[in-house]
Structure 1
Amino acid sequence: MSVLDLPELALDCILDLLPPSGLCSMARVCSSLRERCMSDHLWEKHLKTKWGKILGPAAHREWQSYISSSTYHLDSPHPKTGNLGFAKVISLIRSLSSVFRDDKQRSRYASSLPLDSSMSCYLSLETGRFWFPAQVYNRENGHVGFMLSCYDAELSYDTLTDTFQARYPPHGRRAAAVEKGVTWDRIRAAPIDASPHHLHVSDSLKELKPGDHIEIQWRRNKEFPYGWWYGVVGHLESCDGDLNHCHCQLSETVVLEFNQYTVGSRWRRTMVMRDHKEEGNEEDGFYGGIRKLNCKEEVAMWKRHWPCSILE
């Protein structure tokens, strides 16, 4: 009895339970199974499970641009995989030398895979061929100047180490920076679908009160892109901190505290107005838009990246 003799529902259930490597193996059995195993509904699940949390709208737009480029082809040479082409794509996933028995079969399979398919997207991500935009916490290996910040970067996955390589864009006189070994827990999809040079228009300034968790855009000067920095709303100096008598929320001034810095540090505390847009100078940098963090998971993510010691 052949697996193709199974009822349609039973076969679909089996394929739905297979991991990506299993689908790739089944796809080489025959043309009928190949078509089934390349189905978007199977690969969309794997895309969402492994990549969903770090792929935002910008990554999806970049993918569409990537597959429409004249240089894109799954069987073309790649800086990481050389001339091994599609056979190497599959072997990286399966940790085997090859899935296909010969070059003729490999070429036939590669050419039959739609470029805009979910399987194609998964394989391009898995092998690092597709560099996608996202944001990285504590960039450049936790450099002290970037602790508790999150910056835009282009990322490429390394399946051998299960980490990423990040490329940070050049700005001002600073050349592009490259960081290897970026772990999954340091990556997120951008919460705001906009350029890192775009000032976020805050919609929560009027409601901010002491104790609220926020992240705020900050950049060294106006040539630099914004990064997002974690902080909390504090009390005015005129307030004793007693919540029963606190009127800070009624003030037009909002105190922002960055408690990763030592008391007395010029980076520890700043104040913005509730009609705030961008404020700052060339010495202390420029503070941009503010996001109130209403999601406990977002706050927990920031706290997981808290520095081991207080910063100066």
Structure 2
Amino acid sequence: MLLCFFLTCISFIFFLRSLLLKPLPSWAGEMRFLSHWLGKELSFLPIYKVIKNSFCTYISSIPSNISFKKKHLSKVENVEESDAMSVLDLPELALECILESLPPDALCNMAGVCRSLRERCISDHLWEKHMKRKWGKVIGQAAYREWQWHLASRAGAGNLKQNNQRSLIRLFSFGWSLSWIRSKVHDKNTPRNSIPVDSIMAWYLALETGKFWFPAQVYNRENGHVGFMLSCYDAELCYDPRSDTFQARYPPHGRRAIALENGVEWERLRAPPIDTPPHNLHVSDCLNELFPGDHIEIQWRKNKDFPYGWWYGVVGHLETCDGNNIHCRCHYSDTVVLEFNQYNPGSRWRLASINRKEHREEGNEIDGFYGGIRKLRFDEEILMWKQLWPTDILE
């Protein structure tokens, strides 16, 4: 009886060892329980210790985390199928070329795919091109300073809010868990997937969504009002993505309130060509090189409570000159004649004269005040003014 049982157990052990060369069935993981059952049922046999040691040695060699159920095999198959090439497997240069060709909305979508793509899609060098392509014409140094001030003010408000929260933490830490309060504060103020506020992407989206007002200049303000023809005035602008136009907010003129204008098109906007605030006199650095026929812009304001606007004109000849370029000596004179040919020849706005050597601000309360002059050196600037030329001569 004992010998028969011993032979049966030995044969069973060799059978189990032969299974190492084949995939284990689903019941292999349950064989661990067999040793426990044998320990209870066969503990009375002397040969039990030998069989137990051999059997338990084999069972312990089976990893405890192996599961050969069908659903586990399906997971393995899914992993193998996921080994197909993804966009992140592309060479770095190829992936960079793909991202550079994407429009802004596609870059935003790609940034939400995974962390690796997000780090690439929010990089400044990608958004610099989009910023320059769409906003380069209207964004200048003044707008950049305004954005930096906006970031600084937000940071200051955030620091103040954080200090207040720290005070609350110290106040309530006696009755609440300090770690719980801190976790609530950090979860609220530091979103996991937020865009860096000082990135070009954040600036682009602030402009695109109309959340950021920026300084620029508007040609022919107030929908081309006759009193502002061939002029360019400073304003604060806000983009309207629905109509692809802008809302302009002009600074107050004297006792007048802030003037608003809607539907300002891209063609009427420009970045300020020089870094001079609208209430400051521009220091003219081109007076000695002005010749008849040169195209200029000059500051003008109705009175000293008004901001300056830039008005287009050309340098004319003196009354004593016949206009012959060969015999012309106007550029040697201290007097420079400015012509505003959009007005009738008899209009008091047609001509103005300034002193080449001592020019600062000239004028009076009736004719207004002429300020600094800048010479137009690029054909694009001159062409823009000519495109705005009124259909009728002004009075």
Aligned to 2:176: none
Which residue identity is paired with 1:146?
F
- Deviation per residue, 1:197-231 (Å, 9 max, x gap): 11111111111111010000000001111000000
**Corresponding residue for residue 67 of structure 2:** none
**Cα distance in 2 between the residues matched to 1:244 and 1:222:** 41
2:202 is aligned, of 113, 120, 125, to 120
Q: Kindly state the Cα deviation for residue 69 of structure 1 after the two structures are TM-superposed.
A: 2.3
Q: Which residue does the alignment assign to 1:184?
A: 266
Report the CA distance between 1:34 and its aligned residue: 1.3
- Equivalences for 1:223-242 in 2 at 5 Å? 223-242=305-324
Q: Which has the higher strand share?
A: 1
Residue 344 of structure 2: SS of its match in structure 1?
A: coil
Q: What is the aligned residue count?
A: 278
CA RMSD of aligned residues (A): 1.5
The one-letter code of the counterpart of 1:59 is A
CA distance in 2, matches of 1:28, 1:116: 19
Could you tell me which amino acid in structure 2 is paired with residue 296 of structure 1?
D
Partners of 1:207 and 1:118 lie apart in 2 by: 40
Which structure has the highest helix share of the two? 2
CA contact (8 A) 1:66 1:72 kept: no
2:55 aligned partner: none
What is the alpha-carbon distance in structure 2 between the residues aligned to residue 50 and residue 287 of structure 1?
Answer: 34
Unaligned runs of 5+ in 1: 74-103
**How much does 1:268 deviate?**
0.5
Give the match for residue 92 of structure 1: none
Kindly indicate whether structure 1 or structure 2 has the higher relative contact order, using CA contacts under 8 Å at least 6 residues apart: 1
What is the DSSP-based 3-state SS (H/G/I as helix, E as strand, rest coil) of the residue aligned with 1:69? helix
Aligned-pair CA distance for 1:57: 0.6
Measure how far apart 1:27 and its partner are. 1.2
Quote the Cα distance in structure 1 between the aligned partners of 2:332 and 2:116.
68
Counterpart residue number, 2:65? none
Could you tell me which runs of 5 or more consecutive residues in structure 2 were left unpaired when the two chains were aligned: 1-84, 158-187
Q: Which AA in structure 1 matches 2:301?
A: R
**What is the aligned partner in structure 1 of residue 285 from structure 2?**
203
- Residue of 188, 194, 213 corresponding to 2:295: 213
Match for residue 345 of structure 2?
263
Answering whether residue 107 of structure 2 is matched by residue 40 of structure 1, we say no
Name the stretch that deviates more: 181-190 or 25-34: 25-34
1:8 maps onto 2:117 in alignment? no
CA separation in 1, counterparts of 2:318 and 2:365? 25
Q: State the distance in 1 between where 2:155 and 2:315 align.
A: 49
Letter in 2 for 1:128: G
**One-letter code aligned to 1:250:** Y
Q: Which residue of 2 aligns with 1:158?
A: 240
AA matched with 1:175: A
The answer to whether the aligner puts 1:273 opposite 2:355 as a matched pair is yes
1:127 and 1:71 map into 2 onto residues whose CA distance is 21
**Structure showing greater Rg:** 2
Equivalent in 126, 133, 137 of residue 49 of structure 1: 133
Pick which of 36-45 and 62-71 moved more: 62-71
Q: Following the alignment from structure 2 to structure 1, what is the Cα–Cα distance between the partners of residues 320 and 236?
A: 45
Q: What do residues 228-277 of structure 1 show as CA deviations (whole Å, max 9, x unaligned)? A: 00000111111111111111111111110000001100001111110211
Distance 1:144 1:108 in 2: 53
TM-score, normalised with respect to structure 1: 0.87
Partner of 1:91: none
Q: Could you tell me which amino acid in structure 2 is paired with residue 30 of structure 1?
A: C
Following TM superposition, by how much is the alpha carbon of 1:71 offset from its aligned partner in structure 2, in angstroms? 8.9
